[in-house]
Amino acid sequence: MKKEKGNWKFFIIGAIVFVIFIFPLYWMVVTALKTQVEIFQIPTPLWPKDLTFDAFADQLSASSDTLRGFKNSVIIASGATVISTILAIPAAYGLARFKFSGRKVLILYFLMTQMLPSTLILTSLYIMFSKMGLLNSYLAPILADATLGIPFSIIILRTYFLSIPKELDEAAKIDGCNSITSFTKVMLPIAKPGIVVAAVFSFVYAWGDLIYGITFITDPNMRPITSSIYNYVQQYQTLWNATMAFGIIAILPVVLIFIFMQKYIVSGLTNGAVKA
Amino acid sequence: MKKRNHISIRAGFLFALPAAIYMLIFVGYPMIQNFILSFKNVDVYTFSDTAKQSFVGLANYTELFSGEEAILSTAIANTLIFTVISIFFQFFIGFGLALLFSKKFKGSSFFRGVTMISWLLPVTVAGLLFKFMFASKGGIINQLFMSLHLIDAPLEWLLDPKLAMAAIVVANIWIGIPFNMMLLITGLTTIPEEIYESSKLDGANKFQTLFQITIPMIRPAIMSVLTLGFVYTFKVFDLVWVMTKGGPVNSTELVSTYAYKLSFEQFQFSKGAAAANILFLILFVVGIFYIKLINDEEEVM
């Protein structure tokens, strides 16, 4: 009986925390559905009294930057995810399953690269890409964004491979597999959930990138969506309903991923950061 | 047996090689280039003409610290303030929420899960959202404060040098809380239930349990959260770039935004490289500390 009461107390505190925490997102949606007049009313209503989808309609019209930015981001983030995942899987496997000299150094090396500020390599990458003629192409942000996903994916996947019993490898070896076939035929299928988490993180990182996008791509037709919305705000300073509608479209993939993969994301985050 | 070991050694190395090479090309090499660049005089005039580029020693660094328009010291101070205040609140709020949400009650995993989302959102969008909420006209924060009679007239949050820092810190705290919370919850779940039960039997009250059992037992998680939090916060760029661009009058200029401005607004590439190196140096020291920390832990395990 006493326990029940305690639960209610926690439930109420939890609900209050939830409301405060989620308010900015609520506000984004509400603002996108308001008219400009309502947004600047004093006091501004807490929900749209004059509900309108005009802001979304404008953002989704053919001439807007939004859909173009969305498409560019899909291409860039997918490209970065493919590179990052393909490279991270074998690396994580090698670092989890084999003891070799330099293994620890390699793990530290990947750990360190995860902590580097983008500004540190940005100028050199810019010069490098400009010499290679890659500026204003999708490849420049793809190559740069993959460096965000690789270390994190390796760390998550290594923990995953470590958790798979070693006997499985040995059984595969007895059945006549060598290192490579036991990796492709036995380990990869088992590691699928881990691989999905790593890929999702690489995608989310690349999708959220701003600094590489605004630096390597100046052509408005090629910009990723973060860069588009940034430039949109520079242009239409106080058009908040339109900006928020733009923002909602920009976060849509991440929100969907979050809704469907929440459990995996939480485990990935904690594995990547604590256990390393 | 020996031969098999030899093969497996090579296999492990070969598996890791492609990723290592990729990171060398796109991170290691640019880092070295950045280091060299910081001792040169590359700017918009000498950028495409390598003949005019030359080494200038430490000139870029000394200019950054003591030149007439140099604001690097301000930027470092701002970055430290931004980082320390952000981490302070993120940690304590995150810890409180971790204690709350590690309890099992109706809705606990739902509430906990949803708060995660602020951490996953593209920072650019989160920054714009907070820019709007802090706007002097139409901003909800002014409206809230006015309805609570804390202020009489709307504040110019992002245009007042004193308030702008507060605004970006608040936004950053919102983004960072879930990260702190999740890592601390993971730490809390490693504490066996029996320890709490026996401490209860010994007559320990809630505070004694918290300070003498919970906190010492999750010390590794706490240290991880604090050092990683420091590293991630110290290099924040997008949020500030979107909300204030370092302004007004450099009051929110961080080392990362300053380095970016030097390189890509003033096209003083060498100076930008030097500023980025200073940022790296500070992070490197903290990073070493973190790596030592997890190494010690691994040995214990």
Inter-residue contact B286 to B230 (CB < 8 Å)? yes
Shortest alpha-carbon distance between residue B200 and chain A (Å) = 16
Is the ipTM value over 0.95, yes or no?
Answer: no
Structural domains in chain B?
A: 57-300 (1.10.3720.10)
- Looking at the complex, does the CB of residue B276 fall below 8 Å from at least one CB of chain A? yes
Shortest alpha-carbon distance between residue A56 and chain B (Å) = 16
Q: Could A99 and B9 be called an inter-chain contact, meaning their C-beta atoms sit closer than 8 Å?
A: yes
β-bridge partners, B55: B40
Tokens of B61: 């660094």
Q: Which pLDDT does position B106 carry in this prediction?
A: 82
Instruction: Give the residue ranges of DSSP H helices in chain A.
Output: 2-32, 36-39, 54-60, 65-97, 103-114, 118-131, 139-163, 167-174, 179-182, 188-190, 192-208, 211-216, 225-235, 240-270
Query: CB under 8 Å to B24, separation ≥6 — which residues?
Result: none
Q: Which pLDDT does position A6 carry in this prediction?
A: 63
How many residues make up chain A in this entry? 276
Separation CA A204–CA A274 (nearest Å): 20
CA B289-B290-B294 angle, 5° bins: 120
pLDDT tens-digit series, residues A36-75: 888 888 778 888 888 888 888 888 876 778 889 999 999 9
- Looking at the complex, does the CB of residue B192 fall below 8 Å from at least one CB of chain A? no
| Residue B146 exposed, middle or buried by CB count within 10 Å (0-12, 13-18, 19+) | middle
Separation CA A195–CA A54 (nearest Å): 40
Separation CA B71–CA B65 (nearest Å): 7
Query: CB under 8 Å to A170, separation ≥6 — which residues?
Result: none
Q: Which pLDDT does position B8 carry in this prediction?
A: 62
Interface test with A, best of B7, B9, B14, B26 (most A CBs within 10 A): B26
Q: Which pLDDT does position B192 carry in this prediction?
A: 84
Q: Which pLDDT does position B300 carry in this prediction?
A: 44
Enter the DSSP assignment of B139.
-
Omega of the bond leading into B192 within 30 degrees of 0 (cis): no
Separation CA A70–CA A53 (nearest Å): 19
Amino acid at A182: S
Q: Could B111 and A15 be called an inter-chain contact, meaning their C-beta atoms sit closer than 8 Å?
A: yes
Q: Could A125 and B26 be called an inter-chain contact, meaning their C-beta atoms sit closer than 8 Å?
A: yes
For domain A30-43+50-55+64-275, give the CATH number: 1.10.3720.10
Q: Which pLDDT does position A248 carry in this prediction?
A: 94
β-bridge partners, B40: B55
Q: Which pLDDT does position A218 carry in this prediction?
A: 92
CA-based nearest residue to A201, from A109, A114, A105: A114
Which chain B residues are within 8 Å of A115, Cβ to Cβ?
A: 231-232, 283, 287, 290
What crossing angle do the helices spanning A225-235 and A192-208 adopt, rounded to 10°?
20
Residues 83-142 in B contacting A (C-alpha not used; CB under 8 Å):
97, 100-101, 103, 105-108, 111, 113-126, 128-133, 135, 137-138, 140
Distances (CA, A) of A222 to A4, A141, A218, B91, B196: 57, 11, 8, 39, 57
Give the pLDDT of chain A (276 residues) as one tens digit per residue. 444 556 788 889 889 989 999 999 999 999 999 888 888 887 788 888 888 888 888 888 767 788 899 999 999 999 999 999 999 999 999 998 888 778 888 888 888 888 899 999 999 999 999 989 999 999 999 999 999 999 989 988 888 888 888 787 778 878 888 777 888 888 888 888 889 888 998 999 999 999 999 999 999 999 999 999 999 988 887 789 889 999 999 999 999 988 888 777 776 666 655 443
Show contacts of A41-45: CB within 8 Å, 24+ apart. Answer: A42/B143, A43/B143, A43/B147, A44/B138, A44/B140, A44/B143
Separation CA B71–CA A147 (nearest Å): 30
Separation CA A114–CA B228 (nearest Å): 10
pLDDT tens-digit series, residues A94-112: 998 888 778 888 888 888 8
Q: Which pLDDT does position A134 carry in this prediction?
A: 94
Average pLDDT of adjacent 10-residue blocks, chain B of 301 residues: 55 88 95 93 79 82 84 93 96 93 83 85 94 90 89 88 94 93 86 84 84 86 88 93 90 94 92 94 85 66 38
Tokens of A200: 């999702």
Percentages helix, strand, coil for chain B (3-state, rounded to 5) are: 75, 0, 25
Q: Which pLDDT does position A2 carry in this prediction?
A: 44
Q: Compute how many other C-beta atoms are within 10 angstroms of the C-beta atom of residue A167.
A: 8
